Amino acid sequence: MNNPWVAIPLADYERHMASPAVGQAEMLALEFGALLKSHAPKTVALVGCAGGNGFDKAAEVGVSRLVGIDINARYIADAKDRYADTIPGLELHCADIQGDMPDLQAVELVYAALVFEYVDVPVALRNISRLCRPNGLLAALLQLPKQGADAVTHSPFASLKELNSIMRLVPPGELLDSAEAAGFACLSQKTITLQSGKQFSLQLFRLTSGLPTGCRNHFCRNRT
Ligand SMILES: C[S@@+](CC[C@H](N)C(=O)[O-])C[C@H]1O[C@@H](n2cnc3c(N)ncnc32)[C@H](O)[C@@H]1O
């Protein structure tokens, strides 16, 4: 089965995400910018980077190597057109995070925003653990369920409806278990609420080793 993401035009996706009913694009970039300011990594990867939402934040704080990975080759080509001339150290790869990944030099921070909803989580996390340096960070942003609302917000862009066939909201507790099994320890978790009422979880993990570690963060553990 073809992944529906490869058939969604970037313009449809970006207009959907920027529409007032959805309003998520800005939040995703702002959270990325805040992580860059708090942790000051010099090397960063965005998994499921689409057309480069948030790349400008990395350029602003002087990240020296910025890796963007997406399954849609056209998104990667558009991101290249937009940013290759202005962001030194930009490295873009069309790859499936739950498939055979290219052999990439590991980075200090991996940001995976709204991508676990579309993949086999343990498989993707194993690949992400290879992309992350020992002691490096993984920031994972998940959409939380909203009562009475569809997971994919209704929008005029028909191409996005195809996502309903593969999208699955991932409970933060499930991500935590899989992340620990992949060698990550949870450092923090917070909930983000948009004006629309939609909520998101942002979990920050550190790659401690290849061995499972107990999470001492009760807030993180108690989210289901
Ligand atoms: C909901 S979008 C999130 C995009 C981005 N993080 C943002 O700030 O707008 C999910 C992205 O993940 C990509 N994606 C989905 N499945 C993937 C996979 N298996 N491997 C790599 N990228 C994937 C999609 O093509 C899409 O660009």
Structural domains of the chain sorted by starting position, each given as residue range(s) with its CATH number in brackets: 4-222 (3.40.50.150)
Q: Is 43 in the pocket of ligand 1 (CB under 6 A)?
A: no
What is the pLDDT, as a whole number, of residue 211? 43
Q: Is 129 in the pocket of ligand 1 (CB under 6 A)?
A: no
Could you tell me the pTM of the whole model?
Answer: 0.93
Which one, of 25, 169, 167, 42, lies nearest residue 109 by Cα?
42
Mean pLDDT of 188-215: 84
Which residues lie closer than 8 Å to 123 by C-beta, 6 or more apart?
98
Q: Which of 55-59, 186-190, 192-196 has the lowest mean pLDDT?
A: 192-196
What spacing in Å lies between the alpha carbon of 98 and ligand 1's midpoint?
Answer: 12
| Separation CA 65–CA 41 (nearest Å) | 10
Q: Which atom of ligand 1 is nearest to the CA of 14?
A: 9
| Separation CA 92–CA 61 (nearest Å) | 19
Which residues lie closer than 8 Å to 158 by C-beta, 6 or more apart?
none
pLDDT at residue 217 tops 80: no
Q: Which atom of ligand 1 is nearest to the CA of 75?
A: 27
Q: Is 53 in the pocket of ligand 1 (CB under 6 A)?
A: yes
Query: 128-145 burial, b if ≥16 CB within 10 A, otherwise e?
Result: bbebbeeebbbbbbbbbe
Q: What 8-state DSSP symbol labels residue 137?
A: E
Phi, then psi, of 54 in degrees rounded to 5? 95, -10
Q: Is 118 in the pocket of ligand 1 (CB under 6 A)?
A: yes
The residue nearest atom 13 of ligand 1, judged by CA position, is 48
Q: Is 75 in the pocket of ligand 1 (CB under 6 A)?
A: yes
- Scan for tokens 């401690």, then name that residue: 208
Mean pLDDT of 188-216: 83
* pLDDT tens, residue by residue, 61-75: 989 999 999 999 999
What spacing in Å lies between the alpha carbon of 142 and ligand 1's midpoint?
Answer: 12
Q: Which atom of ligand 1 is nearest to the CA of 112?
A: 6
| Separation CA 71–CA 118 (nearest Å) | 11
